[in-house]
Amino acid sequence: MSVRAKALAYLMLFFGVFGILEVICGIGIKLFDRRVGLQPVTFPANDPSYYERAMRMFHFDPDIAWDMPTPVRSPQEVVPGRRYAASAYGDSVTYCREVKDDETWEHYFERNTGHKIVNLGVAGGAPDMAYLKIRKYYDLYPSDVVLMCVLPENVNRLGSTLRKFLNRADNFPLVKPRYEIHDSQFELYWPPIYEPDDVMRVGDRRFLSGIAQHDYFYQWFKRRYGFDLVWGRSFPYTFEFLQLLKGEVLLRNTDPGYIPRFAQPDDELYRILLFVMDQFLALSRKKGFKPAVVLHTTRQDVPDDSFVAPFIAHLTTLGVRTFEVSAAFRSEVQANRVTVPELFAPNGHYSPRGNEIVAEALANFMRREALTP
C-alpha cells in the first residue's frame, strides 16, 4: 500500500471513529441536559404583547431595575415628605404577595401599635435592589427606622442579571443591576436598559450574551457543565462531553446553594451581601435613620435556620439589630397555636395569619430595642 493510500486510510479511520464519538457524545449530552434541565434561555423576539403582559404588574425604573406600579403599598394614603415611624424595603415577602392590602404585616403592625411602617417592597427583588430603592426613596418617604428585609435564599439573586439564568422555569424578562467584585473592589454593573421599550431587547441573543458575561449563574453553568445558557451546545460534541465530565468530577461542589453560603466568608455572593449591608449602614449615618434588619424565612427553613447565625453575628458586631421571623414562627408552632402550613400562602409568601404573627413579634422587638417612639 502506498504512503498516500495509507494516509487516506488513517484519515478515514480517524473521521469514522470521531463520527461515532460525536454521535455517542451528542446522545449522552442530550440525555444529561434533559435530566438536569439545561436548555438555552430564550424570549420572544417580535412579540410586544408578551412584554406588555409582563409589565402590567411592574413599573420599569432605571434607578432600581423595576418597581411595583406604585412605589408604596398601603390601604391608607402615604403622604410624601411626611416622616413615619418606619419603612420597610425588600422583596415580595416584604411587599406581601398573595394577601390583600389590609392583610400585610406592615398594616397589622400599624393596627396594633398606631405606628406606620411604610411598605416599599418590590416583588422579585433582591437585597441590592432594596438598597438602591432606599437610596432613591428615603428622602421622599423619610422614617425614624429603616428595615432592610432579607430573605436568605435570595442571596442568590445578588448574582443575577436575569432571573432565567438562575432558574430556567422563570420567564420574568426584566433585567437587574448587580455588584461585581474586581480586584477586591465592588463595582455596580448596570445592564444597558434605559427605557421601558428596551425590555424587549432580551429577545435578542446578542444582547443576552452581553449581560450574561456579568451573570454569576450563567458563568457557573458554563464552568460546571460547559453549557452556554444563551447559545446552547456547540460542535464538536466530544469536547462538550469532556467539559461535562470535568465539571461533574472536579467542580461538583463549587456552588453550594444558598444555605452553605452563610458559612463561607469567601463566597462571592455572601461577600456581596455583606457589602450591601455596609452600604445600607453608611446611608443610615448619612441620612440619620436607625437601621435594622428583618430576616424573613421560608416554609422549609422555619424548623431550623441556624445557618444564618454567622450573618447575624456579623450584623451584631456592626451594631445592627436583627429580627428573625423564623424564631417568631417557631415560638408559635411550639406552643401549638399554629402549624407551619398555616403560616404560608400557597406560593410560599406569608398567609394573613403568618403576617399577624410577624407584626406582633416585630412590635415587641422594636419596643425592646427602642426602635419605636
d(CA 173, CA 70): 20
pLDDT along the chain (373 residues), means of 10: 70 77 82 77 88 85 93 93 97 97 97 97 96 98 98 94 88 93 95 90 94 94 85 80 72 67 90 97 97 97 94 95 97 96 97 98 96 84
| The predicted structure's pLDDT at residue 250 | 63
Position 223 scores a pLDDT of 83
Residue 20 located in a structural domain: no
147 in any annotated domain? yes
**Residue 31 lies inside a defined structural domain of this protein:** no
Judging by beta carbons within 10 Å of its beta carbon (0-12, 13-18, 19+), is residue 193 exposed, middle or buried?
buried
- Domain total of the chain: 1
Whether omega before 236 lies within 30 degrees of 0, making that bond cis, reads yes
Predicted pLDDT at 28 = 80
Q: Using an 8 Å Cβ cutoff, are 81 and 52 in contact?
A: no
Give me the CATH number covering residue 70.
3.40.50.1110
Q: Which three three-digit cell numbers place residue 21?
A: 464519538
Residue 129 placed within a domain: yes
- What separation in angstroms does the CA of 367 have from each of 92, 320, 338, 371? 25, 15, 24, 6
Residue 22 lies in a domain: no
Q: Is residue 44 a part of any domain in this protein?
A: yes
Q: Tell me whether residue 2 is in a domain.
A: no
Residue 68 phi/psi, 5° resolution? -75, 165
Q: Name residue 2's amino acid.
A: S
Distance CA 79, CA 84 (A): 9
Would you state the pLDDT for residue 255? Answer: 62
Range of the domain at 207: 38-373
Residue 16 in any domain: the answer is no
